[in-house]
Amino acid sequence: MLSFTSTVETVGLVIDAAGVIVIVFGLLIAAYKFVQSIGQSTDTYRQLRQDIGRGILLGLELLVAADIIRTVAVKPTMQGVLILGLIVLIRTFLSMALQVELEGRLPWRRSVQEQNVNNPQAGIH
C-alpha cells in the first residue's frame, strides 16, 4: 500500500511533467503557427513571441503548483518552505514579465477594453 507521502510525491512529479509537456507543446504549436503564417502577415515575429509566452506561462503555473504540493505536503521543513518561497518568487517574477510582454500592461491594470465593458460611458468623450 502506498503511503501518503509517496502518493503526494508522485502527484507532484506528474504535475511537474505536465508543466514541461505544456511548455514543449506550446513551443511546437507556436512554431507551427509561425511557419503557417510566414508571408501572410507582417507581424509574425510578434505573434510567435506571444504564442511562446503563453505556453511558458501555463507551464510555469503547473510547475509552481507541483512545487507547492511537494514542499508543503511531503517535507514541510523550514528550509523546504524557504526554498519554495524563493522558487515561487522567481517564477512569479517570470510570469509577470511574460504577461507584461504579452499584453503590454501590468497584470493588475485593467485594459481600456475591460474598462469600457465595465463602464460604457468611459469611452464616450
pTM listed for this prediction: 0.71
> Residue 86: pLDDT band by 50, 70, 90 thresholds?
confident
Residue range 94-112: average pLDDT? 74
Cα→Cα distances 91→16, 85, 101, Å: 14, 10, 15
pLDDT in tens, 20-33: 999 999 999 999 99
60 vs 122, residue with greater confidence = 60
DSSP structural state of residue 121:
G
CA distance 84 to 24: 24
| Mean residue pLDDT across the chain | 81
Question: What is the per-residue pLDDT for 28?
Answer: 96
Count of structural domains, the chain: 1
Percent residues over pLDDT 90 in the chain:
21
